[in-house]
Amino acid sequence: MELSLLGAALVAVGAMYGVLRWEAGRTNAADCTRALWDALLGGAIAGLAAGRIATLIGDGINPLAHPMDTLIVRGGVDTGFASLAALGTLALMLRRLDGGAWSALDAAAPAALAGLAGWHGGCVVRDACLGTVTDLPWGVAQAGSGIARHPVEIYTAVVLVVAVIGLVVWKRRRPGAGVVAGVALAAAAGIRLATEPMRLAVGSRPSAWYAAGLAAGVAVAAWRLRRGPASSPG
């Protein structure tokens, strides 16, 4: 992994851990923080690996014949397969917590969104905050350029932080188990879908994946909303 990407990843990991510590003993059971942390890290690693392998295969590269190309992330990570692998790993690792997998996913959801916010905010480390051209007064120009561009990664990070705060506050009302997780999925996908037109296109856009994630998140939240109050994992 390139050093700039490593810096952004560290920002993301720090954001995840910070939110877990913030919620411990408040909206989450204090003694489940370690399990949530392990699951979030496991999900992130599995998602990165699956998304990278999917990208290599899509580019016609055999990951078994070129293992270092899997580790050196320079050519992109497939968003859809990364998300599926991360969510599946997270659910698998959390299923044994008290309250069940749905309540555990609710407990991890704000921290997961915070990690995404940290990754996007880490654009300042990897010099990749800017998107398409804009004439809005807050547009930012690259060094040596007079063309202002949307700071689209900062947009995404800020809205994700707002979503994190909203989810933590809402968890105090103890909605049905799985509702917070569904809303978090819908928020993550919806925010990326909304900002996608402002991004510089690199290959095919993953908009269909984001639309599917938004629909799935809304469906899960609506379904679980009918299931009664949640219990805190521990």
Report DSSP letters for 193-205, one per residue: HHHGGGSPP-SS-
**pLDDT over threshold 60, residue 74:** no
Structure confidence by residue, pLDDT tens digits, 142-176: 888 889 999 999 999 999 999 999 999 999 988 88
Q: Are 59 and 154 in contact (CB under 8 A)?
A: no
Longest dimension (CA), the chain: 57
pLDDT at 194 over 80: yes
> So what's the pLDDT on residue 69?
67
pTM: 0.88
Q: Which residue has the tokens 């916010």?
A: 117
Residue 148 CB contacts under 8 Å (≥ 6 apart), including other chains: 133, 134, 135, 136, 139, 140, 141
Give the residue extent of every domain in the chain.
3-227
What is the residue-averaged pLDDT of the chain? 88
